[in-house]
Structure 1
Amino acid sequence: MCASASAAGLHITDDRGVTVRFVAPPQRIVTLLPSLAETVCALGQCQRLVGVDRYTNWPAEIAHLPRLGGGLDPSVEAVLALRPDVVLLAQSARVIPQLEGLGLNVLALEPRTHADVLRVLEQVATLLGQHPQAGRAVWRQIDADVATVAQTLPPRTRRARVYYEADSGPYAAGPPSFIGETLTRLGVNNIVPPKLGPFPRLNPEFVVRADPDIIMVGLHNAAEMAQRPGWSALRAVREQRRCVFNAAETDVLMRAGPRLAEGARIMARCLTEKAP
């Protein structure tokens, strides 16, 4: 989607295909998706944030901001009370028509892939009154950092077959997802075929048959995993080749935003420690 600026102001076309025009760059910004708050801050403009969703917890300098509820269903009254120039949120947020009906500027920007992270950086840079090049510069550093992480991995990790559980269900991170893209950059093999999509719900028997070398899972979902029929016999479980990420690590790994390289480092540590 496009973003442009001119003497007459600027306009941003969001993920819905809706174009929003601004006379001047917004100075009071509400974000209802953690990756969008992180994007604003990565572009050096944390001070413009006046409110965020309850899950936004980075960087530390915005810890004092009002929490406005969940990103999909926030407190409309609390958002309105902050008098934002724009509300940045996910395309899936149910509250969009209500916010627009109250006269607020709304932009739905939901990065889901590495390419989306670059695109959203460019769009938010334009929104902030910067040149899109500012967003591209942030992306180039992210991309270079991911490449550096990949180069540090020992050769034995290249043979590893990985299962990344994104949520109970189980839902996996497939190759088309931003997590899957990072795994590919790190040179490992995802047991989930690309045709199943970014975050497919799997039959647990699929994972038993695939018998991955390494399992990656968040702490919240790890306990349930052991109760599934046949999973105790998985090599990754028997040989303790399972990485259980804590809440802070999971936050980084599950957000398609400026901390992609940090996510790559977390996965690289797992691969280095657990690869056969």
Structure 2
Amino acid sequence: MSVHGLPLCGRAALSAAWAAVVALAATGCTEERALSPRPPAERTVVSLVPSATEILFALGAGDRVVGRSIYCRYPPRALMLPAYGSYTDVRVEELLAVHPDLVIFNTSKADSYGRLTAAGIRCIAPPTDTVQQVYETIEVLGAEVGAADRASALADGLRERLEAVRRRTASLPRVRTLMVFPSVLGEGNQVSVIGRGTFVSELLDAAGGENVVEAEGYPRVHFEKVSQWPIEAILISAPGDIAPGLTDEQYREPWMRWPTIPAVASGRVVVLREAYLTIPGPRMADAAELLERTLHGEAAAGTSTSWGSSGKMPLPLMGRMPMPRYGPQTSVCPAAAGDAGGGAL
């Protein structure tokens, strides 16, 4: 069986793969090695984690990032850097030839982590499962590259923006929301979802949503079970570079087979193409604001009605929000640039 030319088994693989990417990107380890002898302000870094790459550029340390993973695609300048593999499949010999002072992983359990450490390369894997851990990782990376003040300012700016989102939605009805990865119906009639205990679920809560998934992490759930949940909104996280050939309508169409789901019956199935939605880094506040606008429209400003109060669907924010520009010596933190900018893997 296929949907618009893409076999369901293929969609299942796509779903599972993207869920794994996000789970790996958001999972870290605090294990560290002895500090590099080079001063922090002079250290060169290979970042294999998209969120860490974005943080480093946001701190104005992009000129010292000398390598990335294939998943590090933002800011655009990062694409000019050599890619040394994925999260766990790293070309160690090529990376060693660069002689970086620091390599950032998403997990210390990767074989390449151990090989690089044994070769005398400092490796770290700071966690970003929760919003608080993202703040802490920003501070850690700031200390690593001699930008502690900028890191504190960036973290504080993100806190302020997230609190502003929470204040705007505090008096609004909660919208029971299901967030899914770029999947529809998968093999075994399952769907990959965003559960609790994740930074995305925290952003959803701040934005006035209520995660209908009780499980933690990024589980796969039988669709029959999902169809019984009182879901008011379905948000499909489908970055354009994951399956560029699929249209929003193609992502929504299979859900239309389940009109008993309240969100489907009322047409509240929204495809979100913004990659930063699932990247725990400097654009995290942008993600919260995107969710706020998607769920409540202008209701947070007191000028319209949200889904949770009348069932009226606000116009979904389908386009990209303005993103900060990470130039050679620029930062998105208020202390360095005078503007918190954006607030990403």
TM-score normalized with structure 1 length: 0.83
User: 1:165, 1:171 within 8 Å by CA — same for their partners in 2?
Assistant: yes
Residues 216/93 of structure 1: CA separation in 2 closer, same or farther (3 Å cut): farther
For residues 99 and 137 of structure 1, the distance between their equivalents in structure 2, rounded to whole angstroms, comes to 32
Q: 1:61: Cα distance to partner?
A: 2.8
Q: Is 2:121 the counterpart of 1:100?
A: no
What percent identity do the matched residue pairs reach? 25
Residue matched to 1:76 = 92
Name which of 257, 261, 266 aligns with 2:290.
266
1:174-193 equivalences under 5 Å are 174-193=195-214
Seen in structure 2, the aligned counterparts of structure 1 residues 42 and 85 have a Cα distance that, compared at 3 Å, is same
Question: Residue 208 of structure 1 contacts residue 230 of structure 1 at CA under 8 Å; is this kept in 2?
Answer: no
* Structure 1 counterpart of 2:70, from 54, 67, 70: 54
For 2:82, the aligned partner's letter is P
CA distance in 2, matches of 1:112, 1:243: 25
Shift of 1:52: 0.7
Query: For residues 71 and 200 of structure 1, what CA distance do their matches in structure 2 show?
Result: 20
Question: Cα deviations across residues 104-161 of structure 1 (Å, max 9, x unaligned)?
Answer: 2211123111011111111111111233x542321110111123334455965x2311
Show the counterpart of 1:21.
35
Query: Shift of residue 43 of structure 1?
Result: 1.5
Distance in 2 separating the partners of 1:180 and 1:218: 13
Distance 1:118 1:159 in 2: 26
Q: Distance in 2 between matches of 1:93 and 1:166?
A: 24
Aligned to 1:111: 128
How many residue pairs end up in the alignment? Answer: 256
Structure 1 counterpart of 2:272: 245
The separation in 1 between residues aligned to 2:31 and 2:43, in whole angstroms, is 23
Judging changes above 3 Å, is the alpha-carbon distance between structure 1 residues 78 and 192 closer, same or farther for their aligned structure 2 residues? same
For residue 143 of structure 2, what is the aligned residue in structure 1?
126
**Does the CA-based 8 Å contact 1:166-1:199 persist in structure 2?**
no
Q: Matches of 1:104 and 1:98 in 2, distance apart?
A: 9
**1:234 alignment partner AA:** I
Counterpart amino acid of residue 244 in structure 1: V
In 1, distance between residues paired with 2:263 and 2:227? 10
2:31 maps to a residue whose letter is G
Alignment of 1:163 with 2:184, yes or no, is no
Q: Is the 8 A contact 1:171 1:202 kept in 2?
A: yes
The alignment status of 1:218 with 2:234, answered yes or no, reads no
Structure-2 change in CA distance of 1:39 and 1:266 (3 Å): same
Q: CA offsets, 1:184-205, max 9 Å, x none?
A: 1122211112xx2122222212
Instruction: Give yes or no for contact 1:225–1:231 (8 Å, CA) kept in 2.
Output: no
Give the match's secondary structure for 2:35: strand
The 2-side partners of 1:270 and 1:228 are apart by 18
**Which residue does the alignment assign to 2:4?**
none
Asked if the contact 2:139/2:155 (under 8 Å) is kept, the reply is no
Q: Secondary structure at the match of 2:120?
A: coil
RCO higher in structure (CA 8 A, sep ≥6): 2
Change in 2 beyond 3 A, CA 1:146/1:94: same
Q: 1:231 aligns with which of 258, 273, 295?
A: 258
SS in 2 for 1:51: strand
Amino acid at match of 2:267: Q
Single out whichever of 139-148 and 162-171 deviates more from structure 2.
162-171
Question: Which residues of structure 2 form unaligned runs of 5+?
Answer: 1-27, 184-189, 298-305, 312-345
Residues of 2 paired with 1:106 and 1:17: CA distance?
A: 9
For the residues of structure 1 that align with 2:281 and 2:167, how far apart are their CA atoms?
22
Q: CA separation in 2, counterparts of 1:142 and 1:164?
A: 22
Tell me, which stretches of 5 or more residues in structure 1 are unaligned?
1-13
Contact map agreement 1:226 1:232 (CA 8 A) in 2: no
Deviation at 1:207, TM superposition (A): 1.5
Kindly tell me: are residues 94 and 186 of structure 1, through their superposed partners in 2, closer, same or farther at Cα, counting changes over 3 Å? same
Name the CA distance, whole Å, in 1 between partners of 2:50 and 2:205.
24
CA contact (8 A) 1:150 1:268 kept: no
Aligned residue for 1:172? 193
SS of equivalent to 2:178: strand
8 A contact 2:165–2:206 mirrored in 1:
no
Please give the alpha-carbon distance, in whole angstroms, between the structure 2 residues aligned to 1:97 and 1:49: 21
User: 157, 164, 181: which one pairs with 1:141?
Assistant: 157
